[in-house]
Amino acid sequence: MGGKTPCVVLLALVLAVVAASSLGFASPAYTSQNFEVYDNAGAGVEYAKSVADALESARSRVLQEGASLAPPCSGSRYTVYVEALGGEGGQVRWQYTSDSSGRILSSCVVSISIAPGLSASTLARVALHEMMHVAQASYFRYSSVVASYPWYIEASAEGITGALMGSCGWEPWYFQTSLYSANPYSFSDGAEECYALGAFYHWVVASGYSSVPGALSGSLSGSAVSSDWVNSAYTSFLLSLAKGVSMCGRSFQPSYQKVSLSTSG
Ligand SMILES: [Zn+2]
């Protein structure tokens, strides 16, 4: 029995060495107070630092708005990868545990990915959008909602980012494509329409309809994909839209259809 323990320890040690060598003994290119940035794209230390700085600012901003953040899954810092994302600016991988009824017991952030080569202004926007996803994970309560990735996950990340920055990302696309005449629930995942629906969340926060934590918990903490909070807020948005809304220094109005009524027969 006495001889068994060292053997187990040795095996664990071997496995640790194998795991470490398969990761190439990767060490972060830059470490800030809350982020460890690994450069998987040859972007350089300078860029890794600007990524960490942008994420620190975004994190402070989200906390300043009173929202909570899901913690890193391991360690005290978020793991960040600078890596090519095939056209996307950033990505967040989250993880959660749920009980047999699908109630989420805990959630955490596995990693945040940021594309290389982003300009300073794009990087600031992407960092805030991704930190919104980090915040979202702390408001998830039912796995069925998260698993179906409803339209309001990307819409809230995009639109709240726009409202906090006072500038638009995808929001104008909502008006250009007359999305107000579509059912938002017909879109999900990373469809372009979900980002354009950010116009709704931009209005929610910019108009004072709701705070950032109010919008996140209202949207994400429910047990059903069709959220009562979202439906009620979206109706208010449409009513307000009929009078015209302004966002990011522009004013938007829906287009109207002329309908003629005449008595017949
Ligand atoms: Zn997103």
CA of 44 to the centre of ligand 1 (A): 25
CA of 74 to the centre of ligand 1 (A): 22
CA of 28 to the centre of ligand 1 (A): 24
> What does the alpha-carbon distance between residue 192 and residue 232 come to, in Å, rounded to a whole number?
23
CA of 188 to the centre of ligand 1 (A): 12
Residue with tokens 């329409």, as numbered in its chain: 193
CA of 178 to the centre of ligand 1 (A): 22
CA of 246 to the centre of ligand 1 (A): 23
Sign of the torsion angle spanned by Cα atoms 202, 207, 211, 217: negative
- Has residue 25 got a pLDDT over 80? no
CA of 99 to the centre of ligand 1 (A): 26
CA of 24 to the centre of ligand 1 (A): 29
* The amino acid at 7: C
Average pLDDT in the chain = 90
What is the per-residue pLDDT for 3? 41
Domains by residue range for the chain, with CATH? 28-138 (3.30.2010), 142-247 (no CATH)
Over residues 105-132, the mean pLDDT reads 98
What is the per-residue pLDDT for 135? 98
* The amino acid at 231: N
CA of 132 to the centre of ligand 1 (A): 8
pLDDT tens readout for residues 212-244:
999 999 999 999 999 999 999 999 999 999 889
CA of 208 to the centre of ligand 1 (A): 23
CA of 202 to the centre of ligand 1 (A): 15
CA of 189 to the centre of ligand 1 (A): 9
Residue with tokens 């699908």, as numbered in its chain: 102
> What does the alpha-carbon distance between residue 47 and residue 28 come to, in Å, rounded to a whole number?
12
What is the per-residue pLDDT for 256? 72
Tokens of 225: 């994909």
Q: Which of 32, 110, 127, 105 is nearest to 71 (CA)?
A: 110
pLDDT tens readout for residues 128-180:
999 999 999 999 999 999 999 999 999 999 999 999 999 999 999 999 999 99
CA of 253 to the centre of ligand 1 (A): 26
